[in-house]
Every structure is written in C-alpha cells, then in structure tokens.
Amino acid sequence: MGSSLITLHDKQFQPYLPANRLAEAIDQLALRLNADYADRNPLFVVVLTGAFMFASDLLKRITGNCEIVFIRVASYQGDASSGQVQEVLGLREDVQGRHLIIVEDIVDTGTTMHYLLPKLQAQGPASVEIATLFFKPASLRHELRLNYVALEIPNDFVVGYGLDYDGLGRNLPDVYVAV
C-alpha cells in the first residue's frame, strides 16, 4: 500500500487499511462463520455491487457446504446515503427454512439492512444474519443486530476493496479514506 494520495473525481483519498489487514479480519470472521454454520449449508446473500470483493474472499474461507446468490440494492449518492433504498435486482431463490447470511460491504446508517431484513424474513427463512466487512456505529440510524462484523471504523468515507465513490475505486486492493 503506497503512502501517496489518490484522486477520484473531485476528492482525494489517503491510505487507510492495507489488503493484509483486511485479509486478517476476513480470516477471523470466516472462522466464526465456519464454527457457527458447520453442517447447516447456509445461503450467502451478497449485496452488490460493493460487497463483491469481500464476498469472494470470505467464501473462499468457508469450509462447509454453502450456496451463494446476489442481490442488488442502492442507497448511496456520491459520498452520502440517500436515505432511501431502491431494489434493483431481487432474490428469486426459495429461502424458506434456509439459514441466510447477508454479505454487505459496509453498514453505516443501516438503511439498506432496515429495508432488506423484513423482505427476507417474510419469506420464512430459518435464520437471517448479517456479515459485514465494515461497521460504522456512529452513523447507525436503525436498530440492527450485527453478529458478524469484520472491522468497526469511524464515520469516515472510505473507498477501495469494492467500495466506491461515484463508481470509482472499487478495484483498489487497499482501503482509502477521504481527506
């Protein structure tokens, strides 16, 4: 991870978390999931687009049987939550009686999960949990139970490792913070 600033659109970002620190946090999260879901065949519900890198690395570390599906929701405009969620691509699989693990890149306001959880719970799963790479407790506006958090971070705007600023920065292997 370099020490130089990067520019995306009109904002500058500085290095924040290197890829090896992310890998360590994901290793620890996967150990917990492997222990909790041994012999359960969970269905990982990945929220696109931001969670794609996290999901890929997390699922490589899951040792038991599991399945994966993708959904797409959007609640960001620029570098702030819009406060509203628009479902773009929904879940088509039958989830009744399944153990669901929602894989999210970042939980900040909680708006996306507040919207998504009742929709999933209405379909009769055995359980629904959230596995998030990042959690910003200072930003949370909706009560959520987060049992699987890789890293807690302050209320800063971050990009990289799947997270973007107006479409840019998702491809960065490290995470950067706005300056």
Active site members:
108
Q: What share of the chain is helix, strand, coil (3-state, %, to 5)?
A: 25, 40, 40
Beta carbons of 146 and 107 less than 8 angstroms apart: yes
* 77's tokens: 């405009």
The strand ranges marked E within 18-155 are 43-48, 67-77, 80-89, 99-107, 127-135, 148-152
* 76's tokens: 């960001």
